[in-house]
Amino acid sequence: MKIAVIDIGTNTFKLMIVRVQEDGQFSVIFKEKIPVKLGEGGINNDVIAHTPFQRGLKALKTHKATIDKFETDQIFAFATSAIRSANNGKDFVRKVKAETGIEIEIISGDREAELIYYGVRKALDIGKEKCLIMDIGGGSTEFIIADRDRMYWRHSFDLGAARLLEEINPSEPITKAEIKKLKTYLNDNLQLLWGACEIYPVKTLIGSSGSFDSLAEMIYYRFQTEENPLVKTEYHFDMKHFESMYKLLINSTIEKRFRMKGLAAMRVEMIVVATIMIKYVFKALNLEKMCLSTYSLKEGILYDYLQNSSAKDA
């Protein structure tokens, strides 16, 4: 059986097609990301503007053509922050259904965090100690405190990289005053996280895909570390390398970032605010280690479906 999973994010529409075996294991046979920037020009006003609306529709038509070519048996399409918060989000869902046949489920931030946890747990052994999982999207950022067995706390904050960009509107390169403004904004809006980490102390940050992927790949190219981290499902950061990359990014212009190896063009605009956010959370919580899970929402959706299917068959 072939299953297609579409993660309809704020920045990128991601397609993954897998072949599922009878024992419930799966192998990826196709992956594609289409940059859409659905939040451009309207995310902080709770609207999908006309141009990104059309870009999103075009991207899903492209994905549907690919899905048809692979003769996929089932399609799971999930929409996150940009669509769930937009006043015309349901209009987008209806338009997609009418023009492609794809049925989109708009998931809550809480459900998104839950599915991210399932994806991360599939990628690596979280261990017995509680860790903090962080997934930076364009519209929202999810935080989950969990160990390998369960989640203790989770929350979705409207603090995605696209929203932060619109809020701060940083210079190129970003100034010290803008960094201070961003940190103040993050501190004010992450009070629930600070409180949760007092109740459930953590030492390790697990970054879920996205910006963490880019940072790991950039470190690989810059420092010639071990094999490309994105060919595996987990990667452990050397924090000296991360600090070096942080300094490089906050002093860079967008033109310089376009030339940086390992940094995908779709993340060039948002990587600076995302990296500042990562360092700020890491330092504020006095964390000790950071690693990457290359699995995220898409894999969590698939895991959840396969688990439920096997439970029904039992």
Give the tens place of pLDDT for each residue, 92-101.
999 999 999 9
Nearest residue to 140 via CA among 110, 184, 182: 110
Q: How far apart are the first and last CA of the chain?
A: 19
- Measured torsion, CA atoms of residues 140, 146, 149, 150, in degrees rounded to the nearest 10: -70
Give the tens place of pLDDT for each residue, 1-59.
899 999 999 889 999 999 998 777 888 999 999 999 898 887 778 899 999 999 999 99
- Measured torsion, CA atoms of residues 26, 27, 30, 33, in degrees rounded to the nearest 10: 70
Say yes or no to pLDDT of 227 above 80. no
Domain 110-297, second-level architecture = 2-Layer Sandwich (3.30)
Q: What was the pLDDT predicted at 224?
A: 78
Model's pTM, two decimal places? Answer: 0.94
Least confident range of 29-43, 224-238, 271-285: 224-238
Per DSSP, helices labelled H in the chain are 50-69, 81-85, 89-100, 109-123, 161-168, 176-189, 191-199, 210-223, 239-250, 254-258, 271-284, 297-313
Question: Identical fold at 2-106 and 110-297?
Answer: yes
Domain boundary assignment for the chain: 2-106, 110-297
Determine contact, residues 190/166, Cβ cutoff 8 Å.
Answer: no
Q: What was the pLDDT predicted at 41?
A: 82
Secondary element (H or E) of residue 133: strand 131-136
Q: Does domain 2-106 have CATH number 3.30.420.40?
A: yes
Say yes or no to pLDDT of 311 above 60. no
Q: What was the pLDDT predicted at 312?
A: 58
Looking at the DSSP bridge assignments, the partners of residue 291 are 206, 236
Looking at the DSSP bridge assignments, the partners of residue 155 are 143
The stretch 107-120 carries a mean pLDDT of 96
Indicate the pLDDT class of residue 305, thresholds 50, 70 and 90.
confident
| Rounded distance between C-alpha atoms, residue 260 and residue 238, angstroms | 19
Mean pLDDT, rounded, of the chain: 93
Classify residue 177 as exposed, middle or buried by CB count within 10 Å of its CB (0-12, 13-18, 19+): exposed
